[in-house]
Structure 1
Amino acid sequence: MSNNRYQKQNRHDTNSDMINLVDNLNRAEDLKFNRRAFLKSAVGASITLGLATLPFTGLALTNKKEAKHRVEIAKLADIPKDSAFNFTYPTDDEPAILIRTKKEELKAYNNKCTHLQCPVFYEKEESVLLCPCHKGYFNVETGHPMAGPPQRELPLIQLEVEDGIIYAVGRQTRHE
């Protein structure tokens, strides 16, 4: 049987394009766009996108621990027990918070919530770091989120005390 017989069989006596949709079917073109071709294209695109992100992945892995430089924060005697002190580290554009806990321990973190970069405040009564924007709470001892939308811990600022002066000596981003 010829191909024309099938075309005539499926053709209706009307000129409406919606009824005569079978006229534009072509088996040769249909074979070009099959499932195998689609999967090859999808896999190729995935590999290309993966390779394009490799430089950024390498950069992120090398920046885990930032270069250390020593910056004076305050005198230990000027920070009372169970209080906080705001400073900037490692640059003047990056706010940080130093906490002297009830146990007389010193903790320092970046002063930006890991959710939407709102400032974080020390709450003495509950001994937590509070982000008032969306009620995010962080543990003072570890910097890990305790409640609210933040999912990552605050970047830790490493401290040294020498001759009664508190120094920031490094910053460590601990989340993956």
Structure 2
Amino acid sequence: MAEDKKLGRNKKDSNDDMINLVDNLNRDDDVKYNRRAFLKSTVGASVAIGLATLPFSVLALNSKKDDSNRVFVANLSDVPKDSSMNFTYPTKDDPAILVHTKQGELKAYNNKCTHLQCPVFYEKEESVLLCPCHKGYFSLDNGHPLAGPPQRELPLIELQVKDGAIFAVGRKIRHE
């Protein structure tokens, strides 16, 4: 009599790989690497990362506001009403314009037209900022384009006046 082959559990008498797909499953591994174990390890890793970054979060919340972005622009007495002056902010390579309006307000913007980076000048008669390269006009109130090819507003430079001195303290690219 021919020897009968002893087949293992879920084995078919065939060499076809599609029939013997269950050969790669091991019940011990199935129990060890299930969804519950995966979720436990994921939650554990998340907690460990959260605890590791906690000291940095506390330092960020408790850090004092530094004045590293604060740059002296001019004395208020040196900029009469209805006049302007050029300065650089936030770096020496970034030209800016400060305007003391007829109403006594201080406005500052980057001094590069958003169309082709030409310099912008204060036009006293119309109280606007003018780019002479392509006749671009910007509102003095908010830096938004009024006429010409520019489509984006001029970046606003935030100012602070303290003891008669004007300081640039920040910059907003998109503003209202």
Tell me whether the two structures share a fold, i.e. TM-score over 0.5. Answer: yes
The bucket for the TM-score relative to the shorter chain is 0.5 to 0.7
Instruction: Measure, in 2, the Cα distance between the counterparts of 1:75 and 1:82.
Output: 15
Paired residue total:
109
Q: How does 1:2-13 map to 2 (within 5 A)?
A: none
Q: 5+ residue gaps in structure 2?
A: 1-66
Residue deviations 1:51-86 (CA, integer Å, cap 9, x gap): xxxxxxxxxxxxxxxx96100000000000000010
Determine if the alignment matches structure 1 residue 162 to structure 2 residue 146: no
Residue deviations 1:136-164 (CA, integer Å, cap 9, x gap): 00000110000000000000000000000
Q: 5+ residue gaps in structure 1?
A: 1-66
Determine if the alignment matches structure 1 residue 145 to structure 2 residue 145: yes
Query: What one-letter code is carried by the residue in structure 1 that aligns with 2:83?
Result: S
Structure 1 runs of 4+ off > 6 angstroms? none
Q: How does 1:1-176 map to 2 (within 5 A)?
A: 69-174=69-174
Q: Percent identity of the aligned residues?
A: 74
Greater helix percent: which structure? Answer: 1
Residue deviations 1:75-115 (CA, integer Å, cap 9, x gap): 00000000001000000000000000010000000000000
Cα RMSD of the aligned pairs, angstroms, is 1.3
Larger Rg belongs to: 2
Instruction: Measure, in 2, the Cα distance between the counterparts of 1:123 and 1:134.
Output: 15
Classify the secondary structure of the residue corresponding to 2:77.
helix
Higher relative contact order (CA 8 A, sep 6+): 1
TM-score normalised to the size of structure 2?
0.61
TM-score normalised to the size of structure 1?
0.61
